[in-house]
Amino acid sequence: MGAVIERQELHDAAQKAFPADALKPNRDESWKLVTEMGWLMLSLAEDAGGLGLGRDSAAAIHYEMGKALGTAPLIPAMATVQAIGAATDLADQAGWIERVTTGEFVTTNLSAGDVTGDGDALSGTLPAVPDADMASHVMLANPGRAALVPLDAPGVTVTERPLWDESRRLFDVTPGGYAPDPALVRATGGAAGALPRRLKGEMIFALAADSLGGANTILDLTVEYLKTRKQFDRPLGMFQALQHRCADLKVLIGAAEALLWSRAMQPDATMAEIGGLKAHATEVYRWVCEEAIQLHGGVGLTEEMYCHLFMKRANLNVQLGGNADLWRELVGREALAAAE
Amino acid sequence: MSEQTDLDQLRSQVRAWLDANKPRDWRALSRTQDDFVKTQRDWFQKLVKAGYAIPHWPAKWPGGGRSLAEQKVIYEEIARADCPRLLLSFVSTYHAFATLHECGTPEQQDHYLPRILEGETWCQGFSEPNAGSDLASLKCKAERKGDVYVVNGQKIWSTMAQFADRCLLLVRTSSDGPKQAGITYLLMDMKSPGVTVRPIHQIQGDEEFAEIFLDNVEIPVSERVGEEGAGWAVANATLASERGLTLMELSYRMRGAAWRIAELIRKNGREEDAGVLRDFGKLVTQLDVATAIADQFLENRIKGIEGAGDASIVKNTYARALRDYSLLGLRLGGLDEQYVKPITFGDLNTGNWMADFMNSYAWTIAGGSDEVQRKIIAEKMLGMPKEPKGWVL
């Protein structure tokens, strides 16, 4: 048994480092802090020098980052560190592990790309690559090939795509004919085939955790606002019409969290099960944000108020890693097959 | 670790016993209320003999003395095995037991508890036509005359009262002071002169509830639980005794019944209809959410960390999922579901989609309506300000 860290300790530590009353902290300072806190080691396998903790530990951190609208690219980072830790056939794996757990950032795409190229020149575009400006490499994990592409290699271009979500940065990466260095290709064929699924599973789980963390904060802020804002000589929060809407949001969040933490303890959860959770959690987040703006009234539409920050992040979460249409169809298909 | 081993052992024991003993065709045999009552009586007796009927009673009773974690295992297995629900003995083994055990006299306990195991059933006489969500405003009046209370009034929404031998009755013994302070708790024999029971015909053809009319019914003072005027406290102390177990059982049953929707999709040849698959997938995750929150609630109770309002989240989540389950079936079933089909008693996920839809309202209304739960959540969990009391219209 390795170090046993209770999930609650991680929540506490993350809340201290990234309090929810300091929303959208500076990205570069955040990255330094998360490296110092050792969070990149949490899910790294023990024999690779990490803590080998389960999905629930990573989820605790992503949940807290969601609460504070965290800006450090922890979702791709924790996934790529895990992948590198599992890539025993990667040249100088130990060196890679050392680098990516002490501050070097390897990013990866959060949406399916169309990059092709059979061993030689890669073409196409890798969309939704977080924080490529601060990354050394992008991990390309198409079925059949897992490769680390240096972002400063000749031909590779990195283009920022400005987002509505102000708490995140996404880039398009085009390999532009770059041929992967054989030493940086983890594997081709079977072994690499499992990698994209695994990466994706970790990232969509993280998006679910991020979403429910964010949903919690925006509901708390909304309830606080309704307690202080007075109309008709009483706090708005005294009106039952508004109380019931807040209660419904609380029910949605509380119940979705139960599924999050139960699936977090289920290492053999299928892609459909994780995807179904992701679809549900992101839709809950999106709906809580939609209601939050309405419950704030006009001030909810102003830039100085926080509502829009959550609403924009929620809408992005809905799309990253596959949206609800995709995952629900898969869940439906598998449940249909299971009931054969 | 050994605690987990014990639970695993209990689970295999229960599973093996259920495999050998569970009623297999109870749905087909429960097409009338009377048949369903017989199904339940037989099943209850089997469970009593096997030691699985009253795991929450003290250890001196057969099969009693089980921890909440063990009770959870038994309920999970019974739900997974798709056995009949014990609607008929529910009030007896939970509310009547808890009331007698926690607040009854030794004489009352000795008299009534063994009879519950022999099959005597209880109903609850709480709600009244004008006291629903506002239960404390009840008016059923009891006047003390010597050694008896003389009771006049009406009760409603009493589950299975038409089959009950006894009734847990809340009456008003005083109109002075706060409305809660004038309530007294009595144990009533349903065969007492002056008691009339009228089943309530529900919209789906079921008669799960009844009205009870009380016309100069005499109840001996020895049948009072707690002091005169302490009835509200007695009721509150014992109402929540099964908190969480029922909803966990029902959530598991609902999750286990997802195949009924799959069957409908196949029957209608919609297996490749992406829209239908998405709706089904959305529902399946919703059912997973309902089981996860019911599970988590019980786990928290086992650990002793239940919070105010937690139970309300479980209830509203289950109720919404149950409604949505029936609505999807109803939609996919099409016109066919508008033709009357026989109903199955005692089950909420029957595949008779109109009946299931109508039945689903029981869970958004009974046991504290969705709206009552929302108020609890808003005030106790979110700390939103209470409405001022005493509105004047």
Q: Are A329 and B278 within 8 A, CB to CB? A: yes
Residue B206: per-residue pLDDT? 86
How close A195 gets to chain B, by Cα (Å)?
A: 25
* Mean pLDDT score, B30-41: 89
Residue B154: per-residue pLDDT? 98
Which residues in chain B are closer than 8 Å to A273, comparing Cβ atoms?
288
Query: Is residue B165 over pLDDT 90?
Result: yes
Q: Are B295 and A325 within 8 A, CB to CB? A: no
Query: Is residue A197 over pLDDT 70?
Result: yes
Tell whether B216 and B296 lie within a shared domain.
Answer: no
ipTM score above 0.90 = yes
Tell whether B47 and B129 lie within a shared domain.
Answer: no
pLDDT tens-digit readout, B266-316: 999 999 999 999 999 999 999 999 999 999 999 998 898 999 999 999 999
Q: Which residue has the tokens 């594997």?
A: A187
Residue A144: per-residue pLDDT? 66
CB-based contact A151:A190 (threshold 8 Å): no
The type of residue at B200 is I
Tell whether B193 and B282 lie within a shared domain.
Answer: no
Concerning whether B242 is annotated as a catalytic residue, the answer is yes
* Mean pLDDT score, A38-48: 90
- The residue among A278, A331, B250, B323 whose CA lies nearest residue A339 is A331
pLDDT band per the 50, 70, 90 thresholds, residue B129? very high
Helix (H) or strand (E) holding A16: helix A7-17
User: Which CATH number do you get for residue B250?
Assistant: 1.20.140.10
Output A196 or B154, whichever has higher pLDDT: B154
Query: pLDDT exceeding 70 applies to what percent of chain B?
Result: 98
Give me chain A's average pLDDT, please.
Answer: 92
How close A93 gets to chain B, by Cα (Å)?
A: 37
Residue A269: per-residue pLDDT? 94
How close B203 gets to chain A, by Cα (Å)?
A: 28
Residue B331 belongs to a domain: yes
Tell whether B214 and B184 lie within a shared domain.
Answer: yes
Which residues in chain B are closer than 8 Å to A229, comparing Cβ atoms?
none
Residue B357: per-residue pLDDT? 97
Output B366 or B187, whichever has higher pLDDT: B187
Measured between alpha carbons, how far is A333 from B292 in angstroms, rounded to an integer?
21
Measured between alpha carbons, how far is A47 from A53 in angstroms, rounded to an integer?
12
Q: Are A246 and B382 within 8 A, CB to CB? A: yes
Residue A189: per-residue pLDDT? 54
Which residues in chain B are closer than 8 Å to A255, comparing Cβ atoms?
289-290, 292-293, 313-314, 317
Among B255, B263, B382, B389, which would you mutate to test the A interface (most chain A Cβ atoms within 10 Å of its Cβ)?
A: B382
Residue B285 belongs to a domain: yes
Q: Are A262 and B284 within 8 A, CB to CB? A: no
Residue B345: per-residue pLDDT? 83
Domain at A194-338, CATH class: mainly alpha
Residue A1: per-residue pLDDT? 33
Tell whether B363 and B281 lie within a shared domain.
Answer: yes
pLDDT tens-digit readout, A243-290: 999 999 999 999 999 999 999 999 889 999 999 999 999 999 999 999
Among A240, A259, A260, A263, which would you mutate to test the B interface (most chain B Cβ atoms within 10 Å of its Cβ)?
A: A259
Q: Which of B278, B289, B382 sits opposite A332 (nearest CB)?
A: B278
Residue B1: per-residue pLDDT? 46
Catalytic residue among B128, B242, B249, B337: B242
Which residues in chain A are closer than 8 Å to B278, comparing Cβ atoms?
324-325, 328-329, 332
- Domain count for chain B: 3
DSSP per-residue codes, A58-90: HHHHHHHHHHTT--S-HHHHHHHHHHHHH-TTS
CB-based contact B279:B273 (threshold 8 Å): no
Residue B101 belongs to a domain: no
Query: Is residue A202 over pLDDT 60?
Result: yes
Q: Are A276 and B285 within 8 A, CB to CB? A: yes
Residue A91: per-residue pLDDT? 85
Residues of the domain holding B51: 2-85
Residue B80: per-residue pLDDT? 86
Which phi and psi angles does B175 have, rounded to 5°? -110, 5
Tell whether B258 and B372 lie within a shared domain.
Answer: yes
Domain end: B35, B69, B85, which one?
B85
pLDDT band per the 50, 70, 90 thresholds, residue A326? very high
How would you write chain B as a 3-class SS string?
A: CHHHHHHHHHHHHHHHHHHHHCCCCCCCCCCCHHHHHHHHHHHHHHHHHHCCCCCCCCCCCCCCCCCHHHHHHHHHHHHHCCCCCCHHHHHHHHHHHHHHHHHCCHHHHHHHHHHHHHCCCEEEECCECCECCCHHHCCCEEEEECCEEEEEEEEEEEECHHHCCEEEEEEECCCCCCHHHHEEEEEEECCCCCEEEEECCCCCCCCCEEEEEEEEEEEEHHHEECCCCCHHHHHHHHHCCCCCHHHHHHHHHHHHCCHHHHHHHHHCCCCCCHHHHHHHHHHHHHHHHHHHHHHHHHHHHHHCCCCCCHHHHHHHHHHHHHHHHHHHHHHHHHHHHHCCCCCCCCCCCCCCHHHHHHHHHHHHHCCCCHHHHHHHHHHHHCCCCCCCCCCCC
Q: Are B262 and A336 within 8 A, CB to CB? A: yes
Determine the Cα angle at B225 with ends B221 and B230, to 5°.
105
What is the pTM for the complete model shown? 0.93
Residue B95 belongs to a domain: no
Residue A5: per-residue pLDDT? 65
Q: Which residue has the tokens 């009357």?
A: B340
Q: Are A243 and B313 within 8 A, CB to CB? A: no
Q: Which residues of A touch B (CB under 8 A)?
A: 223, 226-227, 234-235, 237-238, 240, 243-244, 246-248, 250-251, 254-256, 258-259, 261-263, 272-273, 276-277, 279-280, 324-325, 327-333, 335-336, 338-339
How close B376 gets to chain A, by Cα (Å)?
A: 9
pLDDT band per the 50, 70, 90 thresholds, residue A2? very low
Query: Is residue B28 over pLDDT 90?
Result: no
Q: Are A255 and B289 within 8 A, CB to CB? A: yes
Question: From B277, which residue of chain A is nearest by alpha-carbon distance?
Answer: A332
Which residues in chain B are closer than 8 Å to A325, comparing Cβ atoms?
274, 278
How close A279 gets to chain B, by Cα (Å)?
A: 8
Question: From A283, which residue of chain B is nearest by alpha-carbon distance?
Answer: B282
Tell whether B268 and B221 lie within a shared domain.
Answer: no
Domain end: B232, B266, B293, which one?
B232
How close A299 gets to chain B, by Cα (Å)?
A: 20
Q: Are A328 and B281 within 8 A, CB to CB? A: yes
Tell whether B247 and B375 lie within a shared domain.
Answer: yes
pLDDT tens-digit readout, B204-249: 888 889 999 999 999 999 999 999 999 999 998 777 777 788 898 8
Q: Are B281 and A335 within 8 A, CB to CB? A: yes
Q: Are B277 and A247 within 8 A, CB to CB? A: no
Q: Are B289 and A223 within 8 A, CB to CB? A: no
Which residues in chain A are closer than 8 Å to B371, comparing Cβ atoms?
244
Tell whether B221 and B272 lie within a shared domain.
Answer: no
User: Which CATH number do you get for residue B152?
Assistant: 2.40.110.10
Among B248, B259, B284, which would you mutate to test the A interface (most chain A Cβ atoms within 10 Å of its Cβ)?
A: B284
User: Which structure tokens are listed for A260?
Assistant: 């999050």
Query: Is residue A141 over pLDDT 90?
Result: no
Residue B109 belongs to a domain: no
Give me chain B's average pLDDT, please.
Answer: 93
Tell whether B273 and B363 lie within a shared domain.
Answer: yes
Question: From B275, which residue of chain A is nearest by alpha-carbon distance?
Answer: A329
Residue B117 belongs to a domain: no
Question: From B311, which residue of chain A is nearest by alpha-carbon distance?
Answer: A251
Residue A3: per-residue pLDDT? 42
Backbone dihedral region for residue A216 (phi beyond 0: left; psi -120 to 50: alpha; all else: beta): alpha
User: Which structure tokens are listed for B111?
Assistant: 């008299």
Residue B367: per-residue pLDDT? 84
Q: Which residues pair with B169 in a beta bridge?
A: B125, B186
Domain end: B211, B232, B253, which one?
B232
How close B97 gets to chain A, by Cα (Å)?
A: 31
Q: Are A262 and B292 within 8 A, CB to CB? A: yes
Strand order in the sheet with A137-142: A106-108, A137-142, A145-150, A185-188
